[in-house]
Amino acid sequence: MYKDQLIKILRALKLPGSKDNIVKDCTLEDLSFEGNVISIKLNLKSPAMHLRKKIEQDILHIIHERFDSKAQVKFHSQVKLHTLPLIRGMEISGVKNIIAIASGKGGVGKSTVSANIAVSLAMMGFKTGLLDADIYGPSIPLMLDVESARPLSTNINGKEKIIPVDAYGLSVLSMGFFAGSSQAVIWRGPMATKVLRKLIRDAHWGELDFLIVDLPPGTGDIHLSLMQEIPLTAVVIVSTPQKIALSDVRKSVAMFHMEAINVPVLGMIENMAYFSLEGQPELQYPIFGNKGAQEFASELTIPFLGEIPIIQSIREASDVGRPAALQKNTFAAERFMEITKKTVEQLVYRNTSIPPTEALRITTMAGCKAK
Ligand SMILES: Nc1ncnc2c1ncn2[C@@H]1O[C@H](COP(=O)(O)OP(=O)(O)O)[C@@H](O)[C@H]1O
Ligand SMILES: [Mg+2]
């Protein structure tokens, strides 16, 4: 009787972005009473940690308010996706986590964020690689001051392999190393895919904890073939706060969530969040809009990983080829470190809550007891 009463109360709760309540949409799998403890089983359809915390808090709140103000509740929450991640490509041997950095639009700071996250990971002690997959506008060689580097090759088990270039302890590959930065590169779709495949597969990456992939902007051919080519562990989205950038983010997120792609989105980073003058950090000018990306992340129910203001030294650091994350005790370096830590946190959560991306496996959701 109590169970029915409680289920009725819980019908008032919905997850953000869902049209059904948590009973109808089977988020609430089951509940039972064990002495004076209420045991609640939840099935979550998103690996986002903040969503789980939110729903658990909401349930606790409504139970205390409408059922029993002293009730103790024990949660058993598991992530159960409708479809498990699908990737047709082979893994890259020795590479543990492959994280793509994506954006809707160009010019939002995707390469800047990729380079700074990669450097921050290396500073945290992780073996890190950086692949510049922006075939049409490779900017990583300039940002890491290795524009004139030309990768050597080596023979491994009878196969010719490209040796990534070392920059600040990172293993780096970019189309820029092969085409030259001043040369206009006009690859047609299939050609670009072929070149990209070569960069990924014919490289001797060695043992890496992380391979960060700087994707080209948008949702085109390269994205699709990249996603079919390598088992991306997850993707991080970078956006500026203005509407015009965010509308393209919606398309990107939709693409990553497509059934045929299904790469988990770890979260969103808001770049160029505001501007403030040196020495006056309290005065923040929201040039491109106020917290647009942060609010948009919550609307799309993806975690928010942090904001980076417009800082002149970030641009200068990129231009001289020494990412801001390498600076000692600066606001920019600390901010990139915080965002990287948050990203790793989400990644650990992703890796423990859902299986690795692998060949096609589709699970259907069975009915739940609470319904
Ligand atoms: N937070 C920031 N503050 C100042 N300049 C930035 C910031 N983020 C990016 N930039 C600058 O903006 C320009 C575009 O950034 P970039 O990383 O190349 O964008 P994308 O890869 O998305 O095209 C670069 O000159 C970069 O130095
Ligand atoms: Mg770029």
The yes-or-no verdict on residue 84 having pLDDT over 60 is no
Distance CA 30, CA 77 (A): 11
Q: What is the pLDDT of residue 75?
A: 93
Which residue did the predictor score with more confidence, 119 or 198? 119
Residue nearest to atom 26 of ligand 1 (CA): 315
Residue nearest to atom 8 of ligand 1 (CA): 109
Are the C-beta atoms of 308 and 344 separated by less than 8 Å?
no
Ligand nearest to the CA of 137: 2
Domains detected in the chain? 2-79 (3.30.300.130), 95-353 (3.40.50.300)
Are the C-beta atoms of 29 and 368 separated by less than 8 Å?
yes
Ligand 1 neighbour 271 (Cβ under 6 A): yes
Ligand 1 neighbour 315 (Cβ under 6 A): yes
Residue nearest to atom 11 of ligand 1 (CA): 315
Q: Which atom of ligand 1 is nearest to the CA of 238?
A: 22
Ligand nearest to the CA of 103: 1
Q: Which atom of ligand 1 is nearest to the CA of 311?
A: 3
Ligand 1 neighbour 343 (Cβ under 6 A): no
The yes-or-no verdict on residue 169 having pLDDT over 70 is yes
Ramachandran area for residue 145 (φ above 0: left; ψ -120 to 50: alpha; else beta): left
Are the C-beta atoms of 299 and 268 separated by less than 8 Å?
no
Q: What is the pLDDT of residue 259?
A: 66
Token pair in block for residue 166: 């070392």
The yes-or-no verdict on residue 245 having pLDDT over 70 is yes
Are the C-beta atoms of 85 and 357 separated by less than 8 Å?
yes
Mean of per-residue pLDDT scores for the chain: 85
Q: What is the pLDDT of residue 10?
A: 94
The amino acid at 346? Q
Q: What is the mean pLDDT of residues 181-207?
A: 74
List residues bridging with 310 in a β-sheet.
275
Dump pLDDT digits (tens) for 96-135.
899 999 998 889 999 999 999 999 999 999 999 999 988 7
Q: Which atom of ligand 1 is nearest to the CA of 310?
A: 3
Q: What is the mean pLDDT of residues 70-91?
A: 68
* Distance between Cα 320 and ligand 2 center (Å): 16
Residue nearest to atom 23 of ligand 1 (CA): 107
For the ranges 218-232, 245-259, 281-295, which has the lowest average pLDDT?
218-232
Q: Which atom of ligand 1 is nearest to the CA of 308?
A: 1
Which residue did the predictor score with more confidence, 360 or 38? 38
Could you tell me the pLDDT band of residue 356, with boundaries at 50, 70 and 90?
low
Ligand 1 neighbour 106 (Cβ under 6 A): yes
Residue nearest to atom 25 of ligand 1 (CA): 315
